[in-house]
Amino acid sequence: MNFETIMERYLQEAEADFDFSNADLEAKLRAIPNLHSKWLRNFYQQSHKLIKKERDLAVIWRDKLNYYLHDYEYEVKPTQVKFYIDSDEDYSIIFYQVSCHRKIVDMIESILKKTTQLSFDMNNLIKLKELKAGK
């Protein structure tokens, strides 16, 4: 699955989870712990994948460093190695994957934070409905 598909899937899930337009607010309020658990599980799963990708990035950095300092057909000065590694296609691909995955984890983390605030928001909505109904 590509980055855009994963992001879109999580955004759609979040929209559905936080849609209160036609919801029974009390039922939604009782469902908050399950919602928090769902997004916490997503956070841990994606964080674990990110850690693996970051490890892959570190390994390719080490391999490319060794290659450009010792095995490359031209002599590369140590001060130029970062430029060569950053412009290396293999490294760039994994760096892009890590960057995209970091965005996914950051987005899920912000959704998770929203779930912790959700009970306050729900209570405020319930009070507002009661106030409008004249209770």
On whether the pTM is more than 0.85, the answer is no
Whether 16 is in a domain gets the answer: no
pLDDT value for 100: 96
DSSP class per residue in 71-120: ISSS---GGGHHHHHHT-HHHHHHHHHHHHHHHHHHHHHHHHHHHHHHHH
Task: Note whether residue 17 is domain-resident.
Answer: no
pLDDT for 125 = 77
Residue 101 maps to a domain: yes
Indicate whether 14 belongs to any domain: no
Residue 59 located in a structural domain: yes
127 domain residue, yes or no: yes
Determine, yes or no, domain membership for 29: yes
The residue segments making up the domain with residue 35 are: 24-133
Mean per-residue pLDDT over the chain, rounded: 91
Q: pLDDT tens-digit profile of 93-110?
A: 999 999 999 999 999 999
Q: Does a structural domain hold residue 84? A: yes
Characterise 24 by phi-psi region: left (phi > 0), alpha (psi -120 to 50), beta (else). beta
Q: How high is the pLDDT of residue 6?
A: 94
Does residue 135 carry a pLDDT above 70?
Answer: no
How many domains is the chain built from?
1
Percent of the chain with pLDDT over 90: 69
